[in-house]
Amino acid sequence: MKLGILGTGMIVREFLPWLAGPDCPFTVQALCSTQRSAPVADEMCEQYGIPQHTTNYFELLQWVDVIYLAVPNLQHYRYAKVALEAGKHVIVEKPMACTAAQTEELAALARRKKVFLFEAMTTQYLENYNKIRELLPRIGRVKLVQCNFSQYSSRYDAFCAGETPVSFDPECAGGALMDLNVYNISYIVGLFGEPNQVHYLANMERGIDTSGILTMEYNSFKAVSMAAKDCGAPARYVIQGTKGYILQKSTANWCGGVTFHPNQGKEEHFNLNGGRPRQAAEFHAFAKAIEGGDQELCSRMLDTSVAVSRVLTVARRSADIKFPCDR
């Protein structure tokens, strides 16, 4: 299947060596960029043997079977909708859209058009994450969940100096909640479903959340999810139950080694992801689903994306974080 990439940002630069390599199940056919980024895109195409480059999105759609959207958050909905309406399969970087209504609309459109729509949420496809799901019954009744994804952003100093990088720009739907905490939310929702209540306490600077604490209430337990771009700390993910706990000491997008600590007995360690890039598992899953017509997987993942989007929307509302899509 021919893959077209929209965007030339950090995530594309990180992942393109694998995408254009022999292990990727897609063939990268074309790259689409802005006029300003055209020289960078040309260099990428030459370096990785990508046949075509354009600055016209509609032209890109004519060349490929699948679109990978790696653009600022605010643009996800618009470009995904156009691609779905054109009958293309779409992979959207997280978050799928800026509001729950937008995500629900995209999911409904994909189902109506009978095409595949996936959110590029690495967590959901990693073997270590599947192992956590498998271990859950062994810790008894879940009582507390805590997640922390905090890393000092390379752009935070520029933001403090008065600049407005995309990742800190409310006009681009940036901020800690949408860029980092979304991984934590997907991690929790993927295991336990949509919470009953959500509240977000954010550290706000110039209209954007640079860090914050999200609380999620379930019927029988509570979850706390922290994320920061203005300070750093070791990643820590703990699921505590009446018979033990599960500990993971890496960010949710990597979902590194997992340890099961029972109240009685020896702890057990697991690390099943292998040595591939973190995005490899999800892209193999996407390709397998599309080629095999696995609508069940797609529908299940869309339900999770919609639930995560609802949490994000309620969280932003509780912290009075407004984006252009809210107007």
Judge if 50 and 134 occupy the same domain.
no
pLDDT of residue 25: 98
For 224, counting Cβ atoms within 10 Å of its Cβ (0-12 exposed, 13-18 middle, 19+ buried), the class is middle
Residues 150 and 114 in one domain: no
Instruction: Give the range of the structural domain holding residue 89, as residue numbers without chain letter.
Output: 2-121+285-296
In a domain, 312, yes or no: yes
Q: Name residues whose C-beta falls within 8 Å of residue 266's C-beta, 6 or more positions apart in sequence.
A: none
Ranges in the chain, pLDDT < 70:
none
**182 in the same domain as 106:** no
Q: Are residues 88 and 158 in the same domain?
A: no
- 303: tokens are 């339900």
In terms of domains, do 211 and 89 share one? Answer: no
Is 6:90 a contact under the CB 8 Å cutoff? no
Distances (CA, A) of 135 to 33, 120, 269: 43, 24, 11
* Pair 134, 261 in one domain: yes
Q: Is residue 88 part of a domain?
A: yes
Q: For residue 74, how far is the Cα from the chain centroid?
A: 14
Give the model confidence (pLDDT) of 262-310 as tens digits.
999 999 999 999 888 999 999 999 999 999 999 999 999 999 999 999 9
> Residue 246: its pLDDT value, please?
99
Question: What's the domain count of the chain?
Answer: 2
Look at residue 14 and tell me if it is in a domain.
yes
Cα separation, 15 vs 20, whole angstroms: 9
Q: What is the pLDDT of residue 327?
A: 82
283 CB-side CA count, 13 A: 23
